Amino acid sequence: MTEALSLEKMDIVTVLKRFSPISLDDMNGVSLMNRIDTKFIAPAGLLPVILEQMSTHYKILEIESDRLFEYKTEYYDTKEFGMYEAHQNGKLNRFKVRKREYVASGQHFLEVKFKNNKRRTIKKRIEKEEANSINEMEMSFIEENSPYKTDELELKLSNQFNRVTLVGETERLTIDFKLSFFDNTGNKVNYPEAVIIELKQEHFSASSFGMQILRKHKIQPESCSKYCLGAASLNSHIKSNRLKKKFGMIQKFKQLNK
């Protein structure tokens, strides 16, 4: 059996032990709140192989001996899915409003993400004491950092996933898997066969080691918003033509896992 096939059967936690650790404080030097994002969709079966090949060039975020973290997110949008539609229509200068919970630490953040017409992602956030409703200060934060009034926003969906964060000298890679999406009515969809990888750089560079590894496995850049993927999965009435390729890829990954 080849090393690659052996790695495919290896537990993710075992592979993560091969990385050198980096603390949250040390990672702040590459926080990249203003950055260029490049996303990829990969089959979950390849994840151990990809991680192994990246282990010599990146450090891994470690908090209290943990290297694999659970995230939960709530996404807000207008009644008619205005932010989703902006992404679906390829509009530049678009926004996302979300609350994120870092399950291990118990921290909660309210975040506004802005993608401008130069492909830069600018993220602003404030910490919340708990996962409660949005208070007046948080309303002001949203309205100061987006074109939306809080009274026109509503909770559209939630998700949860596992994340590994890899840190290089000038870039970060977040690797999200075991994706689940659910709404307020009890509808739920899971995508265990898919991994969403995001390369975050201050300035785009195709020479990134992580990008080279992904290309080696024929994994090419592919725009993919977890919010849009979840929204289209849970709401059959909204337009989703730009997501057909993504859903087709996930279906192929599902066949690979059989």
Residue 223 belongs to a domain with what CATH number? Answer: 2.40.320.10
Residue 102 pairs in a beta bridge with 71, 107
Q: Which domain holds residue 238?
A: 3-195+203-256
Per-residue pLDDT of 121-149, as tens digits, reads 999 999 987 666 788 899 999 999 999 99
pTM: 0.91
What pLDDT is stored for residue 107 in this prediction? 86
Q: What is the mean pLDDT of the chain?
A: 90
Backbone phi and psi for residue 238, each to the nearest 5 degrees, phi listed first: -95, 150
Q: What is the pLDDT of residues 171-215, one digit of tens each?
A: 999 999 999 999 988 899 999 999 999 999 988 888 999 999 999
pLDDT-based confidence at residue 30 (cuts at 50, 70, 90)? low
Encode pLDDT of 83-112 as tens digits: 999 999 888 899 999 999 988 788 899 999
DSSP string, 112-181: EEEE-TTSEEEEEEEEESSS----HHHHHHHHHHSS--GGGEEEEEEEEEEEEEEE-SSEEEEEEEEEEE
Q: Per the structure, how many domains does the chain have? A: 1
**Cα angle for residues 114, 43, 226 (degrees, 5° grid):** 25
